[in-house]
Amino acid sequence: MGNFTHFNDQGRAKMVDISDKKESARKAIARSSVIMNKDVYENITLQKNKKGDVLAVSQVAGIMGAKQTSSVIPMCHPIPISGVDLSFEWASLDDNQYELIIEAEVKTKGSTGVEMEALTAASVTALTVYDMCKAVDKGMIIGQTYLLQKSGGKNGDYIRFKEDTDL
């Protein structure tokens, strides 16, 4: 386990200096989900939502969230994002429940990674789904949000193994 690098000599918070880090291609993929009842599922899939296309609006919100990460995460560096891609997959659960699985992939060429941007994109997407559908059911559950993989940088690649996703 690495050392925490966000503290100065006085033990106070600081933004890590990345000026000596090498620039490289970096990518991160994060996942989140929203568990909902059949009414919400049909509201989304049959495009009945009065606020508009839930997945399209949520996708745009996730992209905007990735771009704003350094504005809401204090020690995050503002970085030039070269790409954000969000994808959706449906899973049918027991008891007439459905899970919308959200994956966010973020890329950059820079001196620091995009893990926080991918996690933020996935989270904002899930929150937007909730916001757009809460009139139908406030009991939706935003599921676990986690990093699936990352590449680039001095620490190398990280891939969450399949069995690690059943947290």
Which of 131, 137, 157, 164 is an active site residue? Answer: 131
Max Cα separation, the chain? Answer: 57
What is the SS3 assignment for 110?
A: strand
Which structural domain, as residue segments, surrounds residue 89? 24-154
Task: Give pLDDT, residue 42.
Answer: 97
Helix or strand holding residue 133 (H, E): helix 115-133
CATH number at residue 93: 3.30.70.640
Residue 94 has pLDDT above 60, yes or no: yes
Taking residues 81-104, what's their average pLDDT? 97
Q: Is 166 a catalytic residue?
A: no
pTM, two decimal places: 0.88
Domain-located, residue 116? yes
Left (φ > 0), alpha (ψ -120 to 50) or beta: where does 82 sit? Answer: alpha
Residue 14 in any domain: the answer is no
Question: Average per-residue pLDDT in the chain?
Answer: 91
In tens, the pLDDT along 58-77 reads 999 999 999 999 999 998 99
Number of domains in the chain: 1
At 153, the amino acid letter reads: G
- Tokens 């009991």 locate to 139
pLDDT reported for residue 56: 97
**Is position 159 within any domain?**
no
Looking at residue 85, what is its pLDDT?
98
